[in-house]
């Protein structure tokens, strides 16, 4: 039971269906779809389409997605909706064109958007309602406007200079020559027209028709190398999850090129410690998390990439001998100095989860990478394009080196936990770019090691070891900070929050759905 005097949010309980997203208009749409007879997949797609309109700083149809779906009491399925690099974009080609760095707002940072193809593919396989029905509300918000919520308004303001870079983007996203403010009504009529076409014609409207041609022409003018064949080559991958045992449950993640393997390794390491004797916000708990983050990020950034280009033997990384080797690097009173895990940090992503009356479960994450992606918006279709290509390495023989038709190593990861019958009991995800793997571990620990409710687990203060610094949320005490400094950390209090998150717990004995939504974002959980 939470301390009511301390403020905060309560868990949301329901019996027939529930959704949790990073924006209330999106959550409302998910529940509306459930009430009109749609299933969890229908609701997740509709909610994501709304988010593509109301949170353009974090997501959009110009981005990527991953999902884990459990339907009809069958084993969870991983869905990879990440985009490929244009076929010309290999290391040799970049060198010939004197490109030695992929800039954040360069057309070379734009990989083929994978979201729309994944939405359509998911619907074809699992959906109940007409695909067109799932885009009506999103189109309405784009065409007629919606009131800008607080967190998104702040993101908009923080990226004003970036949004001024390209004329198409300025025209749409800086109306009246400035970012829209909190509570102002914002419209994107070109995007509304694109959403209507996608709803009516499906994926081909985006990858074969006027929208793709518009995107290609926009990128070509800026020096990009994308063409019609690149869009035709984009495909969605359905596969088994990768999973491992955790706390008498099974923890499911998407395979590479998502970083879910990192979470699984982290949890194996965390299980080696006795957290029963620790406080959830103690310095030693944050210390252990920080050390595991650095060690696992070093592994992630040096060993992983698109498995179609370099085979990865998962068993090697899950073996006891390998885990013990990593474990020996962790010292209780010392700091591990990692020199190989420096990564580009970007906080913007959306995560949502839906469970319907039949307990079909969707864990879903969508992103355009950095805030407002590449800041490149297609001229006529209003599609803001991701910059996921910045995650590639320009190093020969690196597993994540850029190559044509290759998917970059990603940051976005949905998660599902199943019981001994492989049925979901927890659908969860954490937003926040590179923070996501340790964010998921933090959430799981809060629930199972520290016996917190879903909402309490989401709300608990966070810390993140990244690029030589240990970033703390301001709600972490100075006493804890001082102890971490004494060990050897370069501690820095975060000016904002770290990440976000949503989760749904399925209590199968009581027939209850229990959801939480992160107060760090604009979102909410709603059930019925």
pLDDT digits (tens, 9 = 90+) for 389-424: 999 999 999 999 999 999 999 999 999 999 999 999
CATH of domain 15-263+344-456+504-528: 3.60.20.40
Distance in angstroms (rounded) separating the CA atoms of residues 310 and 305: 7
Question: Distance of alpha carbon 485 from its chain centroid, rounded?
Answer: 31
Range with lowest mean pLDDT among 139-148, 182-191, 328-337, 514-523: 328-337
Whether residue 468 contacts residue 490, with contact meaning beta carbons closer than 8 Å, is answered with yes
Query: Would the pLDDT of 365 be above 80?
Result: yes
Instruction: Give residue-wise pLDDT tens across range 247-300.
Output: 899 999 999 999 999 999 999 999 999 898 899 999 999 999 999 999 999 999
309 to 1, 60, 114, 235, 304: CA distances (angstroms): 49, 27, 19, 16, 10
pLDDT value of residue 310: 86
3-state helix, strand, coil in the chain (%, to 5): 40, 20, 40
Q: Which residues are CB-neighbours of 351 under 8 A, at least 6 positions away?
A: 21, 22, 364, 365, 414, 429, 430, 431, 500, 501, 502
The mean per-residue pLDDT over the stretch 353-368 comes to 97
Give residue 479's region: left, alpha or beta (phi > 0; psi -120 to 50).
alpha
The pLDDT score that the predictor gives to residue 318 is 86
Is the model's pLDDT at 347 over the cut of 70? Answer: no
Query: What's the mean pLDDT in 207-234?
Result: 96
Q: What is the mean pLDDT of residues 211-234?
A: 96
pLDDT value of position 340? 64
Per-residue model confidence (pLDDT) at position 344: 65
Mean pLDDT of 477-498: 93
pLDDT band for position 349 (cuts 50, 70, 90): confident
- Judge whether 253 and 304 are in contact, CB under 8 Å: no
pLDDT over 70, % of the chain: 97
- Per the DSSP assignment, residues forming a β-bridge with 242 are 253
Query: Is pLDDT at 342 greater than 80 in this prediction?
Result: no
Sign of CA dihedral 12, 18, 20, 21: negative
Banded model confidence at residue 4, pLDDT cuts 50, 70, 90: low
* pLDDT higher than 70, residue 243: yes
Q: What are phi and psi of 258, to 5 degrees?
A: -75, 160
Rounded distance between C-alpha atoms, residue 162 and residue 524, angstroms = 29
Other CB atoms within 10 Å distance of the CB of residue 240: 11
pLDDT of residue 6: 60
| pLDDT score for 5 | 54
Q: What is the mean pLDDT of the chain?
A: 94
* pLDDT value of residue 295: 93
């Amino acid at each position: 039971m939470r301390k009511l005097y301390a403020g905060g949010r309560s868990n949301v309980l329901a019996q027939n269906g529930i959704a949790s997203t990073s924006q209330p208009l999106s959550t409302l749409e998910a529940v509306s779809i459930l009430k009109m007879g749609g299933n969890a997949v229908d609701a997740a797609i509709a909610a994501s389409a709304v988010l593509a309109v109301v949170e353009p700083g974090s997501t959009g149809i110009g981005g990527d997605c991953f999902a884990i779906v459990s339907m009809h009491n069958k084993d969870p399925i991983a869905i990879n909706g990440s985009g490929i690099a244009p076929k010309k974009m290999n290391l040799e080609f970049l060198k010939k064109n004197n490109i030695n760095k992929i800039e954040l707002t360069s057309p070379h940072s734009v990989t083929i958007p994978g979201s729309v193809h994944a939405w359509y593919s998911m619907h074809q396989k699992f959906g109940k309602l007409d695909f067109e029905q799932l885009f009506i509300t999103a189109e309405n918000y784009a065409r007629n406007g919606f009131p800008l919520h607080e967190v998104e308004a702040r993101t908009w303001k923080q990226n004003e200079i970036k949004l001024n870079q390209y004329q198409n983007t300025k025209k749409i996203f800086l109306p009246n020559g400035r970012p829209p403010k909190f509570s102002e009504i914002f419209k994107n009529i070109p995007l509304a027209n694109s959403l209507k076409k996608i709803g009516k014609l499906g994926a081909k409207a985006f990858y074969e028709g006027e929208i793709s041609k518009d995107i290609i022409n926009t990128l070509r003018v800026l020096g990009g190398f994308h063409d019609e064949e690149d869009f035709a080559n984009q495909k969605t991958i359905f596969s088994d999850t990768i999973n491992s045992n955790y706390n008498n449950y099974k923890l499911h993640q998407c395979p590479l090129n998502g970083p879910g393997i990192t979470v699984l390794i982290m949890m194996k390491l965390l299980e080696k410690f006795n957290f029963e004797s620790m406080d959830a916000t103690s310095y030693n708990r944050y210390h252990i998390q920080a050390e595991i983050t650095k060690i696992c990020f070093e592994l992630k950034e040096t060993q992983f990439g698109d498995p179609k280009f370099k085979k990865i033997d998962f068993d090697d990384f899950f073996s006891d001998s390998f885990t013990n080797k990593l474990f020996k690097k962790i010292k209780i009173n010392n700091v591990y100095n990692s020199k190989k895990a420096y990564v580009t940090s970007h906080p913007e992503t959306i995560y949502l989860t839906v469970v319907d009356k039949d307990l079909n479960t969707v864990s879903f994450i969508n992103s355009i990478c950095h805030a407002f992606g590449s800041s490149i918006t297609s001229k006529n279709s209003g599609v803001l394009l991701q910059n996921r290509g910045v995650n590639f390495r320009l190093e020969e023989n690196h597993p994540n080196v850029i190559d044509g038709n290759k998917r970059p190593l990603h940051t976005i990861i949905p998660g599902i936990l199943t019981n001994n019958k492989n049925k979901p009991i927890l659908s969860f995800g954490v937003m926040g770019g590179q923070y996501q793997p340790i964010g998921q571990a933090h959430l799981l620990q809060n629930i199972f090691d520290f016996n917190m409710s879903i909402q309490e687990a989401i709300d608990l203060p966070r810390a993140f070891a990244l690029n030589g610094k240990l970033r703390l949320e301001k709600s972490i005490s100075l006493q804890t900070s001082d102890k971490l400094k004494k060990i050897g950390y370069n501690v820095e209090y975060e000016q904002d929050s770290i990440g976000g998150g949503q989760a749904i717990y399925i209590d199968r004995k009581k027939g209850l759905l229990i959801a939480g939504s992160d107060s760090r974002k604009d979102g909410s959980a709603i059930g019925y």
